Amino acid sequence: MRITDNQHRIAKEDFVAEYPKLSQALLDITLDNLSREDSIFIFPNDLMNSPDLDKDQKILETVNQEIKTGNVIGFLGYGQERLTISSRFSINGDDYFLHYLLQKVLNMNLTSLDVGLSQEDKLYQFLIYLFPKYLQVALRKGLYKEYQRFSHNDSHVKGVIDVGNHLKKNLPFMGNVAYTTREFTYDNPLMQLIRHTLEYIKTQKSFGALLDSNRENMAEIVRVTPSYKLADRAKIIRGNQSKPIRHAYFHEYRKLQELCLMILSQEKHGLGYQEQKIHGILFDVSWLWEEYIYTLLPKDFIHPRNKDKTDGISVFSNRERKVFPDFYHKELKIVLDAKYKKLEDTEKGINREDLFQLISYSYILKAEKAGLIFPSMEQSVNSEIGKVAGYGAQVKKWSIRIPQNASFYSAFCKMMENSEENFKAIIDEEVERR
């Protein structure tokens, strides 16, 4: 059963028959509830920081004995059952589109993908994509410190004498004393686990460049783990498996710990074969699409952050209430909205909420032009929806064509670059017409 985003009318009876365990665990369950599972990774990893991903959104929603999907794609497994929700632009099971969005948004240098891998192995690779962002979010809480006991054998005694080690190491007595100290330190098993994951990713030829844009964070991890030894990897993995982070304040570190364990242990079967827990990787593709569009727009376009309450526009003169368009440019008098929807058909593709929202933005900003930007399998769309009666703002829609006939990822990237150039030319032309 092939399931994609924004798919409707999936027969519930057939789905339950093929995925009995997953049906019980997923149907009509909110993302907020799923995010509480230790072994489910949602990107972006903080629901509160995702402007388009509603924590009350359901991955699989039942409507009149049928199931529909939304803007979430990825992989979920439970026992022997494995469910893949692909993007609607995936090609023969190879989700080049998702890889490309991640590459552009995360600023990765990825020109090729391993071929011949199973679907589960390909999805395992996404775990490595997530590592830098999960690390970045965890580090917002500061470097993780905890008490550790260290053994010493020297003449500067400043802890508890370790009689057993002292008798073993210091007979005959030569001036040294074996003792232990308890110190509050960054060099602890969790930070060591993160360091081992970092070093492991560096050795992967396809993913080493993934760390280039996170050099400061990586350097900080290296600095605070001076006792790192490659030979200790198995011991560090076992220690973290037996002692998961439980403190609520360090929830982000708990998710990072679980991610590191899955990467280092290469638990490919951990994504789908564990009997006791549901596992998975989920991506908010609407958020990825919006962030991707931002990389294509001319400089000086403002990208408001709804959840951060930054760069919003005031609805009233007292500035007490604000709204947050996806992108706008005050000087150019343009406002844009990125939509991960099927908008090829003007009449059926744009619902009244999206249209009224765009008109509202254009009125408040006194914009002369407003546009919707969406992905399409067809040729690039550049069409006018109409002029707003009375005010006169021109409302348009533009698409970026997503290739469907690429045999290799490198070919897909080249085709996407051509689509991007076409889109940039259209936007530049709109700007020059002003």
pLDDT classification of 163: cutoffs 50, 70, 90:
confident
What percent of the chain has pLDDT above 90? Answer: 28
In sequence order, the 6+-apart residues with CB closer than 8 A to the CB of 389 are: none
pLDDT classification of 270: cutoffs 50, 70, 90:
very low
* Contact yes or no for 310/70 (Cβ under 8 A): no
Under DSSP, is residue 297 helix (H, G, I), strand (E, B) or coil?
Answer: coil
In one letter, which amino acid is 160?
Answer: V
In one letter, which amino acid is 189?
Answer: P
Burial class (CB in 10 A: 0-12, 13-18, 19+), 405: exposed
Task: Kindly state the average pLDDT of the residues 54-72.
Answer: 86
The label of the residue with tokens 């309450």 reads 309
Q: What whole-number distance in Å separates Cα of residue 81 and Cα of residue 87?
A: 20
What backbone phi and psi angles, to 5 degrees, belong to 185?
Answer: -140, 155
> Domain map of the chain by residue range?
3-142+188-287, 146-185, 297-433
C-alpha angle 217/223/226, rounded to 5°? 140
Helix%, strand%, coil% for the chain, nearest 5:
40, 25, 35
Q: What is the 3-state secondary structure (H, E, C) of 224-280?
A: CCCCCCHHHHHHHHHHHHHCCCCCHHHHHHHHHHHHHHHHHHCCHHHHCCCCCCEEE
Task: Kindly state the average pLDDT of the residues 420-434.
Answer: 84
Most confident of 55-64, 239-248, 383-392: 239-248
Tell me which of 266 and 380 has the higher pLDDT: 380
Task: Kindly state the average pLDDT of the residues 143-154.
Answer: 84
Element (H, E) at 167: helix 163-169
pLDDT classification of 273: cutoffs 50, 70, 90:
very low
Task: Kindly state the average pLDDT of the residues 342-356.
Answer: 73
Task: Kindly state the average pLDDT of the residues 36-61.
Answer: 68
In sign, the C-alpha dihedral spanning 269, 275, 277, 280 is: positive
Query: For residue 4, how many other CB atoms are within 10 A of its CB?
Result: 16
Rama region for 74: left / alpha / beta (φ>0; ψ in -120 to 50; rest):
left
Q: Where are the beta strands (DSSP E) in 81-145?
A: 81-86
Of 39, 20, 85, residue with least CA distance to 276? 39
Burial class (CB in 10 A: 0-12, 13-18, 19+), 101: buried
pLDDT classification of 2: cutoffs 50, 70, 90:
confident
pLDDT surpassing 80 at residue 64: yes
pLDDT surpassing 90 at residue 316: no
Q: What whole-number distance in Å separates Cα of residue 67 and Cα of residue 76?
A: 16
Under DSSP, is residue 6 helix (H, G, I), strand (E, B) or coil?
Answer: coil
Of 7-16, 363-372, 424-433, least confident by mean pLDDT is: 424-433
pLDDT of 232-253, one tens digit each? 999 999 999 899 998 888 888 9
Query: For residue 358, how many other CB atoms are within 10 A of its CB?
Result: 27
